[in-house]
Amino acid sequence: MSDPRTSKSHGRLSVRASRQPRDLMAEPQHVGAWTANIVTLFPEAFPGTLGLSLTGKALADGLWNLRTIPLREYGLGKHRNVDDTPAGGGAGLVMRPDVMAAALAKADPGLPVIYLSPRGRPFTQARARALAEGPGMTLICGRFEGLDQRLLDARNVEEISIGDYVLTGGEIAAQVLIDTTVRLIPRVLGNQASLAEESFSDGLLEHPQYTKPALWEGRAIPEVLLSGNHAAIRDWRMKQAEGLTKERRPDLWRAYQDGMDPAKDRQLSGASDQSRQHREHEKD
């Protein structure tokens, strides 16, 4: 009889209950699986939450690969410096292009390279879906005042933002991109049908959800959801989704009505606001 601790199933490595989260990245990479390369000064930040729940199980099952590239290993001099003072003066430090290029050379070739940056295009469900359909991605986790522009231009790096705010570094943002994308890979979620009803799946926010008990603190589940009339339920959910989107995300609502990319709508809205503010300033 074979040892159950070393036996394999369906060509994948067996899962040992004693493993720590980072052990998931120490195992051999699964050929052909969707792969995330992460260039970071803090490889110990991974897998983080990506090693838990469904994404963690999918990682253990070989449905996707996670690989960190420690940027410090490619630093210069005695102290492995990865940054220097900004050209033209100013506060802070800028990540060197030669150091970053050396680290990127160790990433899987052919994958799109993405830099997590507050000045990047807003990350959307549509972009996540497109990335999930590809072979993977290489993420650059920035620090300090950012990354030398020459590296971004030379390596055709895509800049993506997860929101209009600034983080200490790109590691948390990288986990957001990976989590959003990996869950769209077939077989990662137990119920793929649930993806069709999520927020942004059809350009709208998701409708409200309810479960047992039917009455809680004097609040009842809407009767239509208990009616068994599936057509009425679908109509109710659509109206709820439209109402919430119109109220909370007018940019998504405009894009939904016009068939426009929500990210482009936000950019146009921002340009319109700047133009309006400029006209008002001239009047003053």
Residue after which a domain boundary falls, among 120, 150, 182? 182
Closest CA to 160 of 129, 132, 122: 122
Are 166 and 219 in the same domain? no
Residue after which a domain boundary falls, among 159, 182, 205? 182
- For the CA atoms of 13, 174, 96, 72, the dihedral, rounded to the nearest 10 degrees, stands at -40
Q: What CATH number did the domain enclosing 93 receive?
A: 3.40.1280.10
132, pLDDT greater than 90: yes
| Residue 221 is assigned to a ligand binding site | no
- State the DSSP H helix or E strand holding residue 64, giving kind and residue range, or none if neither: strand 64-70
Are 40 and 178 in the same domain? yes
What is the reported pLDDT for 272? Answer: 45
Average pLDDT over residues 132-150: 97
| Residue 210 is assigned to a ligand binding site | no
| Residue 142 is assigned to a ligand binding site | yes
224, pLDDT greater than 90: yes
Say which residue, 23 or 177, is predicted with more confidence.
177
Query: What is the count of structural domains for the chain?
Result: 2
| Residue 165 is assigned to a ligand binding site | yes
What is the reported pLDDT for 260? Answer: 73
Say which residue, 13 or 57, is predicted with more confidence.
57
Q: Would you state the structure tokens that stand for residue 251, as one six-digit string?
A: 């940019």
∠ at Cα 32 (31, 33), nearest 5°?
95
201, pLDDT greater than 80: no
Cβ neighbours, 10 Å, residue 59: 25
| Residue 167 is assigned to a ligand binding site | yes
What is the reported pLDDT for 197? Answer: 58
**pLDDT tens across 255-267, in order?**
999 987 666 665 5
Are 82 and 119 in the same domain? yes
Q: What CATH number did the domain enclosing 251 receive?
A: 1.10.1270.20
| Residue 98 is assigned to a ligand binding site | no
What is the reported pLDDT for 225? Answer: 97
Residue after which a domain boundary falls, among 182, 213, 237? 182
> Which phi and psi (to 5°) does residue 10 adopt?
55, 30
What is the reported pLDDT for 163? Answer: 96
* Residue 3 DSSP one-character state: -
Instruction: Look up the domain containing 225 and give its range.
Output: 197-283
82 confidence band (pLDDT: 50, 70, 90): very high
User: Alpha-carbon distance 24 to 50, whole Å?
Assistant: 10
Are 169 and 74 in the same domain? yes
Say which residues have a Cβ less than 8 Å from residue 11's Cβ, sequence separation at least 6.
62
What is the reported pLDDT for 15? Answer: 42
| Residue 52 is assigned to a ligand binding site | no
12, pLDDT greater than 80: no
Average pLDDT over residues 48-68: 97
Residue pair 36/66 in contact (Cβ under 8 Å)? The answer is: yes
What is the reported pLDDT for 96? Answer: 98
